[in-house]
Structure 1
Amino acid sequence: MTHPTPLPARPGIAWRTLIERYALVVLVVALIALFALLPASGEVFASPRNIRALIANQGVPLLIAVAAVFPLAAGYFDFSVGAVAASSSVVTGAALSHFAVPLPAAIVLGILFGTIVGTVLGLLIAYAGVNPFISTLGVATLLGGVIFAYTGGLRISSGIPTELTDIGSRDWLGVPRVIVVAGLVALVAWWILSQTVFGRRLYAVGSNARATHLLGVDVRRTQLLAFVASGTIAGIGGVLLLARNGGATSDNGMMMLFPALTAVLLSTIVIDLGRPSVPGVVVAILFIAVTVSGLTLVGTPSWVNQVFNGAALLIAVAFARLARRRSAPTPKKATA
């Protein structure tokens, strides 16, 4: 009995896949060129000062989006990442300003707080079976209330050492320090997701938890660790938020949530089609940042940015769903 020789992939399909993977990258480059050439925005948009500010401002959003990648890889939306970052910022700021904790210890406290919140969420969702939407949104609301109750709506700014604020405002060899730190964390997250057994298991759980369990993987433990990683990275983002702003505010973090979710969903339609990835998040963050900056410089009304963020989130949801359908294996036809 002879087996049929597999047909080679058609060039048209290969090109179409390549275009799909890098379409958003090309769009980002096109937008940069457009806003750099437009008379209304070109001079300011292409200036070194604006480019530096645009890049530096993406450090915290990048980490919040990367934090959301881990739960989404496991099949869950985490609506708490913004609130965790805001709370970690307040924890670190209060430790420095109100309790005179040494800087290294205060940073550890802020990150540890995020880890604890992530662990609690992971236990609730993976082991207690609580609905993830209710759990993450409830924790986000709870943290927002606690932040406001503690700060009284006031900013914590006194006693923040310059060693920390310098990370948020100064450069290393011309590169903003905040983006260097965020980039290193994102690089570690990429390595964990793409080069380790845990990362492969995480994507497998998100794709089909039951089948992964039958293969001998501890699904609940993997889901727990996804939220632990998310909380830890969001905690680092909170420390960078404090360094960037020079103080902690009563912001509940919800304004940081939606751009992060948009970036994570857009990451599923770029480079690694059908699943969230750190490189995809980087491209999506740049897409959002360049578009918002360019529209602002062109002189569009302030409400346009909100409309763009909302529309981008809806489009990201639609395309992410389409990408998952496209990447799903096609059922084989039964043969006689």
Structure 2
Amino acid sequence: MTNHYGQSIRSDALEPGPDDYAGGGPSRIAHKIVRWLPVYGLPVIMVLLIALFSILLPQTFPTFLNVRAILGDKAVIAVLALAAMVPMVTGKIDLSVGYGVALWHILAVALIVQSDLPWPVAVLIVLLLGAILGVINGLLVELAQIDAFIATLGTGTILYAISLWYTGGRQVVGHLPDGFLLINAGDIFGIPLPAFYVLAIALALWVALEYLPLGRYFYAIGANPRAAQLNGISVRSSVILAFVVSGVLGAFAGVLLASKLRIGQASVGLEFLLPALVGAFLGSTTIRPGRVNVWGTLIGVSILAVGISGIQQFGGEFYVEPLFNGATLIVAIGLASHSGRRRAKVKDGRNDKKRSA
């Protein structure tokens, strides 16, 4: 992945060291601001966007109804962004998350209305198929040594073709049980249930990546696969596992989408790929710049959600959303590359100081 996108998903964060705060007075304060701006710049931008739209659109934007709509509508994208983030930690990319969500939501509906399966069984089957897709992607990347970008683009396109073949270009419709519909339609204290799913997934991934050995293995592989292997880390199995997690999360996003739309339609799903990737890439530019991370990814998705919601309430045309997502992706990759170069320069400077000492 680093060969295609520079240093956007390198695993070492820009962590301030003791020498970064040398000096005192105004210069020290200015240095701290410059140092922490990449870390908290995006959250600050998000707060400023919220404040701006709240001032310009006081009747519609700063309302609980709008917050509820944003949380509910962007949950699928947030789950897909977290799904795409996991392989990025290991230095890989999974494009199949955007294509897969089309097939998964169709299957979720079809298994219930056409095969008469209980909805929990249908959901489990979809999640299992997502895991199988992850295994296939991992084997293609690690065993067949196919570049992750090409491998997942190929499997994703095949999934999309299966969606078109299965539906024949028509919608899959039928009666869905209330329990399945509540997956998306339920709420707790007025907050849509999908928002809690996203929070639970984010917390689980954060704990796994930051506090468990598996997370350290993933980051080590993303930084230097050869060095990780020499240190006894099973690179192959770890990368395959990362794709499996991505596949399961992508399948769960499909279940959410099916519960939301209440129909299966092959033309739905691909539009989620770009914003999901944008959120994941933006996640490597904030909180821990130069290192893909969970909370940065959610902040990236939140910025997209807030920006698009505000623009649409201003009466933006239908093409504004893809335009906004595409421009943000370019900015995200540029910022990530800059963070990676800055991280490398900081590390080289520290190494030089150690050698000279």
Match of 1:217 among 226, 233, 236: 233
User: Is residue 109–residue 262 contact of structure 2 (8 Å, CA) maintained in 1?
Assistant: no
* Mapping for residues 1-336 of structure 1, pairs under 5 Å: 9-10=21-22, 11=28, 12-38=30-56, 41-251=57-267, 253-328=269-344, 329-330=347-348, 332-333=351-352
CA distance 1:133–1:7, change in 2 (3 Å): closer
Offset, 1:214: 1.1
Amino acid at match of 1:56: G
Q: TM-score, normalising length from structure 2?
A: 0.88
Question: For residues 163 and 313 of structure 1, what CA distance do their matches in structure 2 show?
Answer: 37
User: Is residue 71–residue 194 contact of structure 2 (8 Å, CA) maintained in 1?
Assistant: no
Worse overlay, 82-91 or 26-35: 82-91
User: Is residue 178–residue 244 contact of structure 1 (8 Å, CA) maintained in 2?
Assistant: no
Specify the SS of the correspondent of 2:182: helix
Worse overlay, 127-136 or 263-272: 127-136
Offset, 1:191: 1.5
Amino acid at match of 2:89: A
Worse overlay, 71-80 or 182-191: 182-191
Worse overlay, 162-171 or 63-72: 162-171
User: Is residue 31–residue 291 contact of structure 1 (8 Å, CA) maintained in 2?
Assistant: yes
Deviations 1:112-171 (A, max 9, x none): 111110110001101221121111001111111100110112222313212111221231
Offset, 1:197: 0.6
Identity %: 33
Question: For residues 26 and 106 of structure 1, what CA distance do their matches in structure 2 show?
Answer: 42
Gaps of 5+ in 2: 1-17, 23-27
CA distance 1:325–1:96, change in 2 (3 Å): same
Question: For residues 128 and 261 of structure 1, what CA distance do their matches in structure 2 show?
Answer: 25
Aligned length: 329
User: Is residue 82–residue 252 contact of structure 1 (8 Å, CA) maintained in 2?
Assistant: no
Question: For residues 182 and 18 of structure 1, what CA distance do their matches in structure 2 show?
Answer: 27
Specify the SS of the correspondent of 1:45: coil
Question: For residues 8 and 42 of structure 1, what CA distance do their matches in structure 2 show?
Answer: 42
CA distance 1:132–1:8, change in 2 (3 Å): closer
Offset, 1:239: 0.8
Amino acid at match of 1:21: V
Q: TM-score, normalising length from structure 1?
A: 0.93
Question: For residues 339 and 333 of structure 2, what CA distance do their matches in structure 1 show?
Answer: 10
Question: For residues 311 and 205 of structure 1, what CA distance do their matches in structure 2 show?
Answer: 30
Question: For residues 196 and 331 of structure 2, what CA distance do their matches in structure 1 show?
Answer: 30
Q: CA RMSD in A?
A: 1.7
Gaps of 5+ in 1: 1-5
Specify the SS of the correspondent of 1:159: coil
User: Is residue 281–residue 332 contact of structure 2 (8 Å, CA) maintained in 1?
Assistant: yes
Offset, 1:305: 2.3
